[in-house]
Amino acid sequence: MEYIITILTFTGITLIGVLGSYMVTGLTGLFSFGQAAFFSVGAYTAAVLVKDFATPFPLAVVAAMSAGLVAGMIVGYPTVRLRRDYISLVTFGFGEAIIALLNNSTNLTGGAMGLSGIPRYTSFWVVWLSVAVCLTIVAGYKYSKYGRQCLALRSDELAAKAMGINVNRVKLVTFLFAAAMTSYAGVLYAFYTTYVEPGSFGWIVSAEWIIIVFVGGINSLTGSVFATFLLTGLPEMLRFASEWRIAIYCVIVLLIINFRPVGIFGEFELSYKWLRQLGKKGAKAA
Amino acid sequence: MSIQQLLNGVSLGSVYALIAVGFALVFNILKFSNFAHGGVMTLTAYIGLAASLFFSRWLSGLPLFGATLVSAALAGAIVGIVLERMAFRRIRNNNSPVIYYFISSITMGILMENIVTIFASSTFYSYPKFFELSVVELFHVNIALTDLLMLVFSSTALMILLWVLYRTKIGLAIRALSFDVNTANLMGMDSNRVVMATFIAAGILGGVAGVFLGINYTLYPQLGQLIVKGFIASVIGGLGSITGAMIGAVLLGVLEVTLISAVGAGIAPVFVFIIMLTFLLVRPRGIAGVIVQEKA
Amino acid sequence: MKFNNKHLVLAMVALFVVSLALVGCGGGSGGGGGAAKPAEMLVIGSIQDMSGTTSVFGNAVTRGAEVAIEKLNAKGGINGKKIKLVTLDTKGDPKEAINAYNRLVDQEKAIAVLGPPISNIGLAIAPIANSKKVPVVGSFIDPRVTVGQDGKPQTAMFLMQPSSVQYAEIMAGYAVEKLGLKKIAIFYNQSNAYSVSLIKPFKEYAESLGAKIVIEEKYTKDDKDYKTQLAKIKESGADVLYAPNYTQELVILFKQRKQAGVNIPIVDGLDLAAPFAQNINDPEAADNAFFANNFSEKEPQLVEVRNAYKAKYNNEEPINKAYLGYDKIMLIAEAAKKMNSTKPEDLIKGLEQIKDMQGATGVITLSPKTHQPVGLSMVIFKMEKGKYIEVGRYVPEKHKKL
């Protein structure tokens, strides 16, 4: 059973990262190549604090999220002012810079050899409790004033400005929100695997999260959640295909993007109302 | 900075330029970062290897190099066609936002890399020896012959591209399309054909780049990941300007070499990031913003 | 766009449930063949990078292991039972490796697992392996994989080639003691754990022998042009260059060394072993280098493996990681024979008792205190004009005292 539990735990951690991407890319339309870098900021900050400075775990979590916020501020403040095309470049450069920093500060982070022997404080339940909390926050955010402003500026920035929305501020707030959340996911990861290395937080990971958001449907939070299950589970299910599994995975993603461009879920959101209607219909059919 | 360093930078830049030109061409027309171009380079580099092994029965030296280059370029053209049909045609017909092209292209890139991994990753490969790894010495500075060739090839490719874009009918069509797809369609242009032509051209450039990267850096399935350098160069150089991408590539090469000698390679990405950020804040149009405007 | 959400959603959810069930009951369906498994077949797992940046290593280890399994099965398998190799891909990612290890143990009921030649993966799976007590035999050269922070061996982790410390000392010793070169330049990939792990012990041992590190230059994984660093190394006046990196980066280094006109010898690890010189394709660039390999290619036991490998895989020349894969299987088989059992816990005990086993790569004795091999010497080769010249086995002074 541990096999399934481990996969589900990793899925939960990835899901929190994807939620960050959903906010930045899905909701606001900023194309961030550096989300995984926030993940590593969180993971390393907490791991180093606990391991080398014997900081209590909860305090380390707070510190890691603050570090994520600071990093988010450094990247976010200038980038939200830039043209959209450049945001991907700057966030990409940020990701590479973080990896370079991690590789360089060998005394603190172990460099490329990674940081091992992190205590295992995270478990399946901690992760999924965190997922529930994050999901509630993101869902709330989507329907809040800010979330709607995000959607407005995603569709038409000029029009949004004309409506009196402080575009840069909304972008920055969303970006910071996502940064803090992703750092938290990083903490969960570090204290679950007990080992972190800079190599596993490259831009490809950020790209994978964005792919998940789009496969699920850019307008649907439910879609992101579901696609996370599907796309992190898929490589595991495809294990029988041996070396072909990543290729098959890519083909499936391509098929979805090509034949269902709105994503699997389109604009659909799972809600109580929908479930009730479904129940009624089912009763009728029976 | 010594002249030798500057030259090293330029020669590194010419490698990046060769990557960036093909990348920028698609960027120019469809306005998205075509990360699949990395996959094209890897795939064609390996096809070029197969071709070189096949032709080596009859040819050697420069003729063999020519045959390899042509085969890789042809393969690139075919890969370009397949790529366009499989990954982008439908998205374009759906009028999907640009970001879908990106998703499609990055997935295609990973797919191509993996196909190469499946078929060719049980050992290391390298091209046969085409020419001496000699060094040309000019005024006490050394230039590697392959670097020189790459500079020549990327500038030639750029010249041909510019000629096609600004002096031929298809070039006119491509430019019209890059300006406004809908209007171009209304004017009776077959946008599918024009886009296809663009991908064929990009594929050929990818094939040439693949062979050169293979000669210089040996063959491995992740060869195409060098595309990120083309990406940086294209964006710094000015969105969608091919000349700008070329200048951006050379500047990136010089910048990297300078940083490596000044602060060391390990920490260089941090400085690249800071410089990039400052540059974009000061000059959000990219380098070519002005160059393009001056031309128009 | 109009579509029927509900049906689609329901279909997707159904698909998802079915696939989850598949994952759950998918025992025995892993691995390449997918052929029905006879009831009495033993499974040896293998976690390798088959699709990531180090897939060449992963493939080679797998193929070498398959050769060993074929040989064992021809003789009746381990303790009368035939064996089967189930290889799972890690993409070089610790997370995937943890999943793969769990799957091999929980679903496939593997009796032992072959590790990849990548220490990062070893560090990531060590805690789980220790708690599950299914041994992992790998070539994780980072000593932290086999010896924990408390100085005790990691219960289930075994190394079957010299550790990075032993290895670096052999190379440092050879450069300083044998070649008498005392001004050392170091050039390595800072984002590669393998390179980094070979730097510190090298420096310490070289400096203890009175040599001086005159310059230390680095690069990162995306750098492909080393001429700037080479120019600095040239200026530094070093008389030897130590560059422990992966093969394909070394090919570039050797070519550019020639272009940059740096004429000092290079001292290096087994990444320079054949077919490295052919990959450079230029006898003048593939010149003036010394390296330590685990084995000599002339040794009869190795020739046998090599011939079997070439017969099985289309006449392809095996790279050295293939022999490591072969020996990993042989070690597990030897441990099973010693304990006359194929239970994972017994295999751990058996592996600790391995003594003087003649493997393809040398005579292996595993220390129960460190789970690392003891007294493994290495064979020094010289590369000259594209040709390999065997210099002979070499043991540094420090190792002789042990």
pLDDT tens digits, one per residue of C92-102: 889 999 999 99
**Which residues of chain B does A247 touch, with a Cβ-Cβ cutoff of 8 Å?**
111, 114-115, 118
Q: Is the pLDDT of residue B134 over 80?
A: no
Which domain, by its residues, includes C280? 165-293+378-401
> Does C134 lie in the same domain as C58?
yes
Q: Which of B232, B266, B277 sits opposite A100 (nearest CB)?
A: B266
Q: Is C19 on the interface with A (CB under 8 A)?
A: yes
Please state the rounded mean pLDDT for residues A56-73: 96
Of A20-34, B149-163, C238-252, C339-353, the least confident: B149-163
DSSP letter for B219, please: B
Counting one residue from chain A and one from chain C, the pairs whose CB atoms sit within 8 A come to 133
**Do residue B4 and residue C251 have CB atoms under 8 angstroms apart?**
no
Q: Which residues are within 8 A (CB) of B265 and not within 5 positions of it... i.e. 6 or more apart?
A: B259, C190, C217, C218, C219, C220, C223, C229
Which helix (H) or strand (E) segment is B106 a member of?
helix B98-120
Sheet of C266-268, strands arranged across: C212-219, C183-189, C240-242, C266-268, C289-293, C378-384, C387-394
Q: Which of C51, C55, C251 sits opposite B126 (nearest CB)?
A: C251
Residues in a beta bridge with C392: C380
**Do residue A97 and residue B270 have CB atoms under 8 angstroms apart?**
yes
- What values do phi and psi take at C37, rounded to 5? -95, 120
CA-to-CA dists, residue A270 to A41, A223, A273, C34, angstroms:
33, 9, 8, 38
> Does C132 lie in the same domain as C207?
no
Please state the rounded mean pLDDT for residues B72-77: 96
- Residue C297 is predicted with a pLDDT of 76
**Which residues of chain B does A253 touch, with a Cβ-Cβ cutoff of 8 Å?**
103, 107
Q: What is the pLDDT of residues A149-208, one digit of tens each?
A: 999 988 888 889 898 999 999 999 999 999 999 999 999 999 999 999 998 888 889 988
> Does C208 lie in the same domain as C356?
no
Q: What type of residue is C36?
A: A
Please state the rounded mean pLDDT for residues A68-75: 94
Rounded to the nearest integer, the mean pLDDT of chain C is: 85
Minimal Cα distance from A239: which residue of C? C30
> Does C271 lie in the same domain as C233?
yes
Q: What type of residue is C369?
A: K
DSSP letter for C37, please: P
Q: Which of A242, A245, A262 sits opposite C31 (nearest CB)?
A: A242
Compute CA B168 distance to the chain's CA centroid, rounded to the nearest angstrom.
Answer: 22
Q: How many contiguous H segments (helices) and E segments (strands) does chain A have?
A: 13, 2
The whole-angstrom separation of Cα C305 and Cα C67 is: 8
Q: Is C193 on the interface with A (CB under 8 A)?
A: yes
The whole-angstrom separation of Cα B238 and Cα B206 is: 20
Q: Which residues are within 8 A (CB) of B285 and not within 5 positions of it... i.e. 6 or more apart?
A: B238
Asked if the ipTM is above 0.95, the reply is no
> Hey, what are B53's tokens?
């092994």
Q: What is the pLDDT of residues A81-129, one digit of tens each?
A: 877 777 888 898 999 999 999 999 888 888 888 898 899 999 999 999 9
Q: Are C214 and C183 in contact (CB under 8 A)?
A: yes
3-state class (DSSP) for residue A243 = helix
Q: Which residues are within 8 A (CB) of C376 and not within 5 positions of it... i.e. 6 or more apart?
A: C161, C162, C166, C294, C362, C363, C364
- Residue C18 is predicted with a pLDDT of 56
Q: What is the pLDDT of residues C183-196, one digit of tens each?
A: 999 999 998 989 99
Q: Where are the alpha helices (DSSP H) in A24-123?
A: 35-53, 57-79, 84-104, 106-109
Q: Which residues are within 8 A (CB) of C333 and not within 5 positions of it... i.e. 6 or more apart?
A: C68, C72, C78
Q: What is the pLDDT of residues B155-211, one digit of tens each?
A: 888 888 889 888 998 888 888 887 777 888 888 888 888 899 999 999 999 999 999
The whole-angstrom separation of Cα C261 and Cα A125 is: 60
**Do residue A211 and residue B272 have CB atoms under 8 angstroms apart?**
no
pLDDT confidence band for C31 (50 / 70 / 90) = very low
Q: Is the residue at C247 inside a domain?
A: yes
Chain B contact partners (≥3 CB pairs within 8 A)? A, C
Q: Which of B90, B235, B267 sits opposite A258 (nearest CB)?
A: B90
pLDDT confidence band for B239 (50 / 70 / 90) = low
Minimal Cα distance from A211: which residue of B? B103
Q: Which residues are within 8 A (CB) of B295 and not within 5 positions of it... i.e. 6 or more apart?
A: none
> Does C335 lie in the same domain as C239?
no
The whole-angstrom separation of Cα A262 and Cα C153 is: 53
The whole-angstrom separation of Cα C349 and Cα C335 is: 8
Q: What is the pLDDT of residues B91-103, one digit of tens each?
A: 888 877 778 888 8
> Does C304 lie in the same domain as C264?
no
The whole-angstrom separation of Cα C62 and Cα C315 is: 16
> Does C176 lie in the same domain as C137?
no
Number of folded domains in chain C? 2
pLDDT confidence band for C30 (50 / 70 / 90) = very low
Residue found by looking up tokens 């890519």 in the block? A250
- Residue B56 is predicted with a pLDDT of 87
**Which residues of chain A does C118 touch, with a Cβ-Cβ cutoff of 8 Å?**
none
Interface test with C, best of A9, A115, A222, A236 (most C CBs within 10 A): A236
> Does C305 lie in the same domain as C276?
no
**Which residues of chain C does A106 touch, with a Cβ-Cβ cutoff of 8 Å?**
196
> Does C309 lie in the same domain as C272?
no
Please state the rounded mean pLDDT for residues A219-226: 90
> Hey, what are C183's tokens?
């001004």
Q: What is the pLDDT of residues C115-155, one digit of tens each?
A: 998 889 999 999 999 999 999 999 888 888 999 888 889 98
Question: Whole-model pTM?
Answer: 0.88
> Does C321 lie in the same domain as C279?
no
> Does C394 lie in the same domain as C264?
yes
Q: Is the pLDDT of residue B235 over 70?
A: yes
- Residue C9 is predicted with a pLDDT of 53
Q: Is the pLDDT of residue C107 over 70?
A: yes
CATH number, domain containing residue C190: 3.40.50.2300
The whole-angstrom separation of Cα B273 and Cα A91 is: 9
Q: Is the residue at C348 inside a domain?
A: yes
Share of chain B above pLDDT 70, in %: 92
Q: Is the residue at C369 inside a domain?
A: no
A 10 A CB-CB count for C384 gives 15
> Does C272 lie in the same domain as C143?
no
Residues in a beta bridge with C48: C89
**Which residues of chain A does B100 touch, with a Cβ-Cβ cutoff of 8 Å?**
214, 257, 261
- Residue B293 is predicted with a pLDDT of 37
Q: Is the residue at C196 inside a domain?
A: yes
Q: Which of B110, B236, B272 sits opposite A246 (nearest CB)?
A: B110
Q: What is the pLDDT of residues C368-399, one digit of tens each?
A: 988 998 877 788 999 998 889 988 888 887 77
Dihedral over Cα of B186, B188, B192, B198: its sign? negative
